[in-house]
Structure 1
Amino acid sequence: MPQPMRGNESAPTLAEVARHAGVSTATASRVLNRSARVSLDVAARVERAARELAYVRRRAPRARGTGVVAVVVFADPLQYHADAFPVRLLAGLRRSPSGAERELAVFTVPRRSRRPPLVRYLCGGHVDGVLLVGPWGDTALTRLLHAAGVPVVSLGRPSEPDTVAFVDADNLAGARDAVRRLYASGRRSVATIAGPPDTAAGADRLAGYHQAVAAMAAVRPAVAYGDFSSASGEHAMQWLLDQRPELNAVFAASDQMAAGALRTLRRHGLRVPEDVALIGFDDAPVAALCRPGLTTVRQPVEELGSRAMELLLRNPARGESVVLPTWLVVRASG
């Protein structure tokens, strides 16, 4: 039977992984080295034990000063390439004095996907640090990186506090400011198109909306959800109009979703901002291209990248964080 995990903090050994999986050390070695075929059940038990124990194979001393930083982006590949955020982030990483001296190895991974070959590469002494972008799931990956002695920083607040250092924008305050502006303009039926609630940005921007609405008299809240994409903004806006035809203001948790919402409003013959005021979030290039121009909450993406690189190369403590302010950019839509 598998043995319980050890209670101390020393690095686990291959023998302990084998005991935890209920197999011999030789079998565990064959699974982790892919040197011979074993049953799918045995392989799954060994790999699960390695994850739970944060085991990292140490074939040689960990490399130092490789000159490479890995940027692992957890996102749908099509959405990644359609979004200006990654390009602005990479520019910010290069803007850092330390980042300008390093090569960036960029990996795109479907959300919450586990890629054992990628994990072995990241932990194998090939990079000076790892920057995680997007919803990277549970703490298994960060535990493995920490166990391997690889500095790691999350761009965005982690779902579990004190598991990894992070850099983020003040999404909560930015959302509050947007909703307060809509209220100050006399709007009382203020809806939101929220991002995915399992992402830090989605959860914080929705929390900011609720905080603002709770402090305002006579405001009727309504929430629809999208995935930060333009298409999801179109669908969410349609749902809101079906549920609340009298609404007169919308805060969208991304500019892409706001652009989609704008298309739906136009199809219904509604004028922006005369009939429905609209505010987005990010100040992405699409915000200035919308007609009317989109009022939005600007987050300093390039500075986020620069600060993340500087923090990463200091090998930060797990709870260390940098939170940058946001501000409203006022255009014609709200």
Structure 2
Amino acid sequence: MKILTKPFNLIRIILLILAIGSTLTFFIGDVASTRPPSSGAGGVLATILVGDRPDGIAYNPSNQMVYVTVLGSAYNSPGKVAVIDGRSNKVVTSLQVDSNPEAVLYDPANQQVYVTSSASVSVINNANKIIKTISVPFGAVALAYDSVNNDIYVASVYSNVVSVIDPSKNTVVASIAVNSPSNLVYDSSRNYVYASSDYAQTVTVIDASKNRVVTSIQACSYCDPEGLAFYPAAGNVYVANFGTGSVSVISDSTNRIISRLVVGNNPFGILYDPANQRIYVANYSSRTVSVINPSTNSVVSTVAAGNGPWNLAYDNANNDVYVTDFGSNTVSVIAG
């Protein structure tokens, strides 16, 4: 989580303190609680307690489990991955990983889950066993899956590198120099990987066929670009701008920003839901999730979430969206 492990400006510190400080939830153990669905479409269906400071999240359709990285009570605390059964929305097990776990990714080719920690990537099989730990450069914070080449990309923000893992061998096969990459997304139309950098205020474009940088897109001043999502129908990449409460839209045909949408305060995670053709944006300080119609590039709904919504995952079995709530130590389940 970049907001915890890097220097950042005073304004962001104040915003985060205000967002978290007044309503932190304290509890013992990993238990689940549910509440009735909201009357409107897209309401919160359940709230699941997972542990201190949940961060990354991913859904595994082969076993219908949701994997959540849990940072722990302090920086460098022993890390864990909470595993939620998507059919019951209850935590069924917890796995110990290296410190500072952040990103989670499901690889549909080998049906394994990948989790970043400070300088490693853990590989989890469908039986919820860690089968390998892969060393990567320090500061691993983001993952993306290349469905054409079946490769996994790992962003190491402090090492200024994006590593490429061959999941058939679970080894690093290439490294690409990128200025402070903090989030990743794969564009299946162009075979590109996009890497945001809130340090450099840029989005770097990598040609995955050659593993080379082809261009760098300048974000707006103080945008702090973070989460990324790809909308294949239009070939657009959506960028959550943490610093300005907006989402930029990049055309992959020109690699230029073509639109900017206003969302909630401090958006971080962003997700494309292919079933409903919607983009979901987690607004950290607003405690909401904005829903965007990408065909019109307009915000069509805003859903209340927990305290500090951070990252999102899509459950294609139940058509639900899972949101990590960093400030309340929970995961919210939103009806898609």
TM-score, length of structure 2 as denominator length: 0.28
Query: Which structure has the highest strand share of the two?
Result: 2
Question: Going by fraction, where is helix more abundant, 1 or 2?
Answer: 1
Query: 1 or 2 for the larger relative contact order (CA 8 Å, sep ≥6)?
Result: 1
Q: Rg: which structure is higher?
A: 1
